[in-house]
Structure 1
Amino acid sequence: MTTLKLGDVTEAGDRDYKYGTGPLILRVPRIGDRQHTADGEWLDLDGLELRSDGPQVEPQPRHAEVRVAALRAWRGPNARR
Structure 2
Amino acid sequence: MKFPVKLARSIVVCAFLAGISASALSEGKEYVILKNPIANADNSLIEIFSYRCTHCYDHHKFNTMGKVKEKLPNLTYKF
Higher fraction of strand = 1
When Rg is computed on C-alpha atoms for both structures, the one with the higher figure is: 2
Say whether the fold is shared (TM-score over 0.5).
no
Query: What is the TM-score of this pair, normalised by structure 2?
Result: 0.17
Higher fraction of helix = 2
Query: What is the TM-score of this pair, normalised by structure 1?
Result: 0.17
